[in-house]
Amino acid sequence: MKRLTILLCVMALGMAGCAWFSPKGERSAQELAADGVDAFERGKYRDALESFQKLKDWYPFSKFAILADLKIADSHYHLEEYLDAVFAYEEFENLHPRNEAVPYVVYQMGLCYFEQIDSLDRDQGNTRKALDNFTRLRQRFPDSEYAAQAEEHINECLRQLAGHELYVGRFYFKQKRYKAAQARLQRVINDFPDLGFNEEAREMLRRCEEELAKAAAD
């Protein structure tokens, strides 16, 4: 990411002949870009967001606008405003589908959802969305450095989903809802093999079958 940031900053700050001055004496596009980059590098993400948003609003056709698009998303991410970050990253990808930053953008969208993953007893919608983005990154940009980084997160998402299914299976078993438990436990075995959950899932399946057999015999 550091190389990408440096490249974008060079593009934004080193463009001779692209002054884009305001006729009313406001800060120029180049000055706002410099302010935003400086604030971002110092961890002042709210100030960075303000500068980049002004740049977009005042100079929508500036050659600095693409930098603003990306850094607005990054600022929201660092502020843990994940929904706003996802929206901004999606907007960047839609506006600049061929930009070399797109693999990074897809990776960041995955991270936005990954950071919101909840405990095993809660809905795993964010886990699935994170997995979808990391998988999409791996499929579309297999040679990207971000695809390699996404691989570890993919495994963590799969383990989270497997753990959730096992948790729900245990819950149904305790409630004596053995058929419902069977469905969840079978999903662990079929959908998430080789993640370390199969042994327990198979044992619980065996116990479910025993209980169902007892009920049928009564």
- Sorted by where each begins, the domain ranges of the chain are 1-81, 101-218
Identical topology for domains 1-81 and 101-218: no
- pLDDT for 1 equals 55
> Does residue 13 carry a pLDDT above 80?
no
Confidence band for 17, pLDDT divided at 50, 70 and 90? very low
Structural domain 1-81, CATH architecture? Up-down Bundle (1.20)
**DSSP codes, 90-149:** HHHHHH-TT-TTHHHHHHHHHHHHHTT---TTS--HHHHHHHHHHHHHHHH-TTSHHHHH
Global pTM reads 0.86
Instruction: Tell whether domain 101-218 is in CATH 3.40.50.10330.
Output: no
Residue 120: burial class (beta carbons within 10 Å; 0-12, 13-18, 19+): middle
Select from 93, 91, 116, 117 the least CA-distant residue to 106. Answer: 93
Q: Which of 24-33, 88-97, 103-112 has the lowest mean pLDDT?
A: 24-33
pLDDT, average across residues 150-161:
97
Contact between residue 108 and residue 101 where contact means Cβ atoms under 8 Å apart? no
